[in-house]
Structure 1
Amino acid sequence: MAARQPQRRPVVVLYERIVEAIQQGIYPPGSLMPSEPKLAADLGVSRPALREALILLQEDGVIDARRGVGRTVNHLPQRGFEQLRPMEQLLGGGRPMRATLLRHDIAEPTDFSAQHLLLSVKDRVPFWEVLLELDGLARCLAQEWAAPQDALRKVLPELADALREPPQPPSSMLKVLLEAGRELPLRGASTVVASMLGQRRGRQLGRDADTPALLATQVVRVGSVPVLAAKYLLPSGTPALPIMQAR
């Protein structure tokens, strides 16, 4: 009997349909996306479902949304901070950053982690939320998901073991990954888009909800296998990210 394919979240399937349409030139890079009502009708989906997918596409830098203009398709693939280095090193510039582990959990997949780690709705994956501070100020809120433990053990058992317990001293998951996989063919792909902190993240970073921020996303693979997906929220005033080539 053929193995049953894992069930994908509807918003992830819709995300992939739109990306495929962009790649096929139906919505060419640089063009404006159709209005929400027309796009929902073209794709045969509800507007609430479409809006969820569009938010995810915007977070990943596939499209840009500007008030009064609409949604613009970006050129793929996106170019971002492509050097595989821990955020502590990229932002610290040689100075030590203080890391506080806000959450260390085995969590249900989000739309973001399901998309980039190829998860099913039944998967449970390691999730860390880490606050990074420099000179006494919050500089980065890191949200990082790893592949399921059984998948990690096939390609990087050292990381699977390292993620079982909270890191001491606290650090980002990417830092632990790079230490565990220093001899492996790791590859990273990233995007950087403009955003706002919002209420919850603003409280975590000690800033107003409407503070401008950069949202950097990163997916790390061992060969072709995705092992980590991350979001890094950087409020205004954070040191600039160096733009370099992927490892």
Structure 2
Amino acid sequence: MAVSGQRRRPVVALYERIADAVHDGTYPPGSTLPSEPRLAAELGVSRPALREALLLLQEDGLLSVRRGVGRTVNDRPPRRGFEHVQPLEELIGVGAPLRVRALLRTVEEPTDFTTQHLLAPARAELRFWESVLTGEGTAAALSHEWAAADELLDRVHPEFARALRATEADTPTEADIPARADTPARAVVAGRGPASSMLSVLLGASRETALSARSGITATLLGRRRGEQLGRPADTPAVLVTQVVRVGQVPVLAAKHMLPTGAPALPVLQSH
């Protein structure tokens, strides 16, 4: 689903609730949705918001309107997966993808964020990639990406596990230059040459594997460290985009992307 950044987030969330109900069989193919008043009451939302979400679902091919019947679920609703997931460097690149500059490639224990979104046990070891996305010499975004633990990836998406290992093996390093005070001893501090985002690696390894993703967006300030990395004052307003990518019901990648004011526009907000 491609939703304009100008659309209200509650409508996007409502779209997702109904789309999830379609894909989990609550509203199976060929079934008719409840009437607008009844559906709005069941979901606890206003009818204008519901109507907008339903129109988006029609545009995206999940629903059809049948005269005298109402809104029905299409017999073959479009599969949510690979075609909806796009690396941020391509999504916000104007005319051409942004350049990914690797800052850090390391392994770390789960944080609150990764425990929640990757369902990682406390003692797991997760790959963490920190990158700056640049365009025309200007830092446009800071990306933090985590992959699920190797043992899980080897089971649910071995191609992604192998691609991550191969990518890290080929990454130029400057291990004698500390990236930050809390960098583990085994961290790889990346050089300044071109690199790939973790999501780009995942997509390249998923040509035979269907993916689905969910994204969220909030307003925030950069803060001191992220401001230094992006060459902006600490109090610069920014947009924080979070993303979780799954294979089936299993999360394999979680990410946070920080876009400061003045960065290239985010024309499409993916929320799958």
Q: Is TM > 0.5 for Structure 1 vs Structure 2? A: yes
Give the counterpart of 1:196 among 198, 201, 221: 221
Structure 2 residue corresponding to 1:223, chosen from 242, 248, 253? 248
**What SS class does the counterpart of residue 99 from structure 1 fall into?**
strand
Q: Give distance in 2, aligned partners of 1:107 and 1:136.
A: 30
* Secondary structure of 1:163's aligned partner: helix
1:186 to 2:211 alignment: yes
Deviation at 1:220, TM superposition (A): 0.2
User: Residues 159 and 29 from structure 1, CA distance in 2 versus in 1: closer, same or farther, beyond 3 angstroms?
Assistant: same
Aligned-pair distance for 1:156? 1.2
Give the unaligned 5+ runs of structure 1: 1-27, 31-81
* Residue 243 of structure 1 pairs with residue 244 of structure 2: no
Indicate if the aligned counterparts of 1:97 and 1:134 stay in contact, CA closer than 8 A: yes
Instruction: Provide, for residues 74-104 of structure 1, a one-character-per-residue CA deviation record: whole Å limited to 9, x for no partner.
Output: xxxxxxxx94101110011332422111110
Instruction: After TM superposition, give the deviation of residue 174 of structure 1 in Å.
Output: 0.5
Paired residue secondary structure (2:92): helix
Question: Following TM superposition, by how much is the alpha carbon of 1:29 offset from its aligned partner in structure 2, in angstroms?
Answer: 9.0
SS of 2:121's partner is coil
**Aligned AA (1:196):** L
Summarize the Cα distance change of 1:100–1:29 in structure 2 as closer, same or farther, 3 Å threshold: farther
Shift of residue 246 of structure 1? 6.0
Residue pair 1:212, 1:235 contacting (<8 A) in 2 also: yes
Partner of 2:177: none
Return the alpha-carbon distance in structure 1 between the equivalents of residues 225 and 270 of structure 2: 33
Q: What TM-score results when the alignment is normalised by the length of structure 1?
A: 0.64
Contact 1:197 1:213 in 2 (8 A): yes
Q: Which amino acid aligns with 2:258?
A: L
Partner of 2:113: 112
Asked if 1:234 is matched to 2:235, the reply is no
Tell me the distance in 2 between the aligned counterparts of 1:186 and 1:115: 19
Output one character per residue of 1:191-233: Cα deviation in whole Å (capped at 9) or x when no partner: 0110100000000000000000000000000010100000000
215-224 vs 165-174, greater mean Cα deviation = 165-174
Q: Contact 1:108/1:125 (CA < 8 Å) preserved in 2?
A: yes
Distance 2:117 2:217 in 1: 16
Per the TM alignment, residue 244 of structure 1 is displaced from its structure 2 partner at its CA by: 5.6
State the Cα deviation string for residues 2-56 of structure 1 (Å, max 9, x = none): xxxxxxxxxxxxxxxxxxxxxxxxxx999xxxxxxxxxxxxxxxxxxxxxxxxxx
1:159 to partner: Cα distance: 1.1
Two-structure CA RMSD over aligned residues (Å): 2.2
Query: Does the 8 Å CA contact 2:84/2:212 hold for their aligned counterparts?
Result: no
State whether residues 127 and 144 of structure 1, in contact with CA within 8 Å, keep that contact through their aligned partners in structure 2: yes
**TM-score of the superposed pair, with normalisation by structure 2:** 0.58
The 5 A counterparts of 1:35-50 are none
| Contact 2:216–2:271, Cα closer than 8 Å, also in 1 | no
- Quick one: percent identity of the two aligned structures? 52
Q: Which protein shows a greater Rg?
A: 2
Q: 1:206: which partner in 2?
A: 231
Does the C-alpha gap of structure 1 residues 148 and 211 become closer, same or farther in structure 2, counting only changes over 3 Å?
same
Q: Give the aligned residue type for 2:266.
A: L
Deviation at 1:161, TM superposition (A): 1.4
Gaps of 5+ in 2: 1-43, 47-82, 172-193
In structure 2, C-alpha distance between the alignment counterparts of 1:106 and 1:147, rounded to whole Å: 11
Alignment partners' CA distance in 1, 2:196 and 2:164:
11
3-state SS, counterpart of residue 154 of structure 2: helix
Q: Specify the SS of the correspondent of 2:268.
A: coil
User: 1:175, 1:195 → 2: CA distance?
Assistant: 26
- Residue 32 of structure 2 corresponds to which residue in structure 1? none
Q: CA deviation at 1:245?
A: 5.7
